[in-house]
Amino acid sequence: MSVFQTLESVRKDKGCVAVALIDPDKKNDSALSNIVSLVNDSGFDVIFVGGSLISDNAFESRIQLIKENTDLPVVIFPGSSNQLSANADAILFLSLISGRNPQYLIGEHVKSAPVIYNLNLETIATAYILLEGGNRSSVEIMSNTTPLPMNKRDIILAHALAGQFLGNKMVFLEAGSGAENHAAVDIVSYLHSHLDIPIIVGGGVHSPASAADLRKNGAGYIVTGTQLEQNPTLNDLKMFTDFIHH
């Protein structure tokens, strides 16, 4: 079974997939191991690894460390075409379709495709839509694109449908790491009623109540990153994943 099929069967089984996002940048081995062990013990279904900026050359070794310390699937959530590793199980092949920067619509894809082919890495084509989350996000800065305003529901839907018609397997509604506002539940529900492909919601989701609300309104995957870096208790994280699952 492919990683995508495994994740989809979790979604069908549990109602929604709990995704732990680990930003591998600037983390020593013990900090990284601690996060992985928290993730393992708190009910997450999959680990995404990636970040907007990798300041050193340790991406490969950190993916390896994560992989050695978990039985969960490890999926690269790349900030750029140099975040690749044979140690991962799959990679989100992201197209930043909310923007009009050709580098993130096709440029990074062409650079990474031969390497991904040689690594024999499973790709999960994902339409990545950046929304205004209340503060200027790293994605906005690094990609040199403009996020879509949350009050432009029909424009967001048009992007999501275009993503689906282009053959993407998922739509990712990103408000940016540490966003003040995650993707609004009414947008998730509006998109869910029009799309056939699952919706990933990430950026600014850190309360169990928001997670449950998003799941009830059609989020198929919920991503959380920042809260994993803020010394959460195991109980807090367990409650969070409980609310993601039904």
Which residues form the interface with ligand 1GP (CB under 6 A)?
21, 174, 177-179, 202-205, 223-226
Measured from the CB of residue 1, what is the shortest distance to ligand 1GP in angstroms?
Answer: 25
Between residues 45 and 174, which has the closer beta carbon with respect to ligand 1GP?
174
Nearest to ligand 1GP of 128, 165 (CB atom): 128
Nearer to ligand 1GP, 10 or 175 (CB): 175
Minimum CB–partner distance for residue 227 and ligand 1GP (Å) = 6
**What's the 3-state SS for the chain?**
CCHHHHHHHHHHHHCCEEEEEECCCCCCHHHHHHHHHHHHHCCCCEEEECCCCCCCCCHHHHHHHHHHCCCCCEEECCCCCCCCCCCCCEEEEEEECCCCCHHHHHHHHHHHHHHHHHHCCEEEEEEEEEECCCCCCHHHHHHCCCCECCCCHHHHHHHHHHHHHCCCCEEEEECCCCCCCCCCHHHHHHHHCCCCCCEEEECCCCCHHHHHHHHHCCCCEEEECHHHHCCCCHHHHHHHHHHHCC
CA distances (Å), origin 128, targets 29, 41, 201, 230, 243: 30, 29, 10, 26, 24
Q: How far is the CB of 114 from ligand 1GP (least distance, A)?
A: 26
The nearer residue to ligand 1GP, 73 or 225, going by C-beta atoms, is: 225
CB of 7 to ligand 1GP, least distance (A): 16
User: What backbone torsions phi and psi does residue 25 show, to the nearest 5 degrees?
Assistant: -70, 145
Please say which residue, 26 or 118, places its beta carbon nearer to ligand 1GP.
26
Directed axis angle between helix 59-68 and helix 29-41, to 10°? 40
Taking the complex as a whole, the smallest distance from the CB of residue 6 to ligand 1GP amounts, in Å, to: 21
Which residue number is nearest to ligand 1GP in terms of Cβ? 202
Closer by beta carbon to ligand 1GP, 68 or else 207? 207
In the complex with ligand 1GP, the residue whose CB is nearer, 6 or 226, is 226
Q: Smallest gap, in angstroms, from Cβ of residue 201 to ligand 1GP? A: 8
- Report the nearest approach of ligand 1GP to the CB of residue 182 (Å): 8
